Amino acid sequence: MRTQLWLPFAGAALAFALLSQTDAYLLRLATTFGMYVTLAFSWNVIGGFAGYPSFATAAFFGLGAYVTAVAQSQGLSLAWAVVLAGLVASAFSSLLGLAILHLRGRYFAIASLVIAEVLRQLTNSWTAVTGGGMGINLPLVGGSTFGQAQIYLAAMLLIAATTIAVTLWLHQSRLGMALRCIAQNEDAAQILGVDTRRAKTAAFVLSSVFVGCAGGVYASWVTYIDPTDVFDGALSVKPILMVLLGGVGTLWGPLFGTLAYLGLEELLWRNILEFHAGVLGLMVVLLVLFLPQGLGQVRGVSWPRLLRWARRAP
């Protein structure tokens, strides 16, 4: 198990070594991939393992972005600002979880959906701190433009690797077993002695902390944020789509789903930008109806089987 926990970090180090000296386009793509991996694996904790369809990802992402922006504008370094963003996101999600995790199914989904909009309105109104609708500029990280791109790539890959490592630990832990029991039958889990309230709250916190960190790195990366950008509802839908592509509740499905989604985004979205949100919603519906286990369901192919084949390949 300890060896498995190091695998994501080894993969992130290898990816950085291979991509850090490439052109600006590949650096941007790899950094976006690291961010998407974080969002997908984080959502899979609450939406896949626990079976609670959360739409709060955009809220945690935007909150982390604004905490980092305000902290950096007050002189805090990027590293500490990102850590603070994760802590604030986790604290917010723990309080939010106590308020809405007693809801189930579509009621929980609707309650989580409005959180990002509430935070967006608050951010628009709190002009003295957030700049309101005008947004907020972040200080530049020192060094050349290419060096800055390398820093953000390393940061996103580190956050993504940590998210995957926590997911690997969670999958083998008692908490992970409790979450899977909740997903199967929450009432039966309570009868068996599972503290469902505590388990769901822990899952909700885990689904937020690294998203908040990713939001913080994103804010510094783009150097300017506004409420419409970082609280965009698409940030709640994209990770769901990625996990659906890879397989909900699977261990490695979000990774393959992120690869598939990023490929679609680069190839298609630039040509259908005006229909972006509609296409995202349509894809979610089609996947739920026809491929509930993800692309691995096509012709009986599964991600574990692909991984076993890859290990046997010379």
User: Is residue 178 within 8 Å of residue 189, measured between CB atoms?
Assistant: yes
C-alpha to C-alpha distance for 36 and 159, rounded to whole angstroms: 11
Distance CA 160, CA 140 (A): 23
For residue 302, pLDDT over 90 is answered with no
254-274 residue pLDDT tens: 999 999 888 888 777 666 555
Give the mean pLDDT of 133-153. 89
- What is the average pLDDT score of the chain? 87
The answer to whether the beta carbons of residues 87 and 205 sit under 8 Å apart is no
In terms of phi and psi (left: phi > 0; alpha: psi -120 to 50; beta: otherwise), the region of 299 is left
Give the span between the Cα atoms of 86 and 12, in whole angstroms. Answer: 20
The 8-class DSSP code of residue 144 comes to: -
Average pLDDT of span 193-218: 96
**281/221: higher pLDDT:** 221
- Which pLDDT score, from 0 to 100, does residue 45 have? 97
pLDDT at 180 over 60: yes
pLDDT band at 314 (very low <50, low <70, confident <90, very high): very low
Confidence grade of residue 5 (pLDDT, cut at 50, 70, 90): confident
Q: Over range 189-210, report the average pLDDT.
A: 95
Query: pLDDT digits over 228-264, tens only?
Result: 999 998 899 899 989 988 888 889 999 999 998 888 8
Taking only the tens place, the pLDDT of each residue in 32-46 is 999 999 999 999 999
Read off the pLDDT of each residue in 49-65 and give the average, rounded to a whole number.
Answer: 96
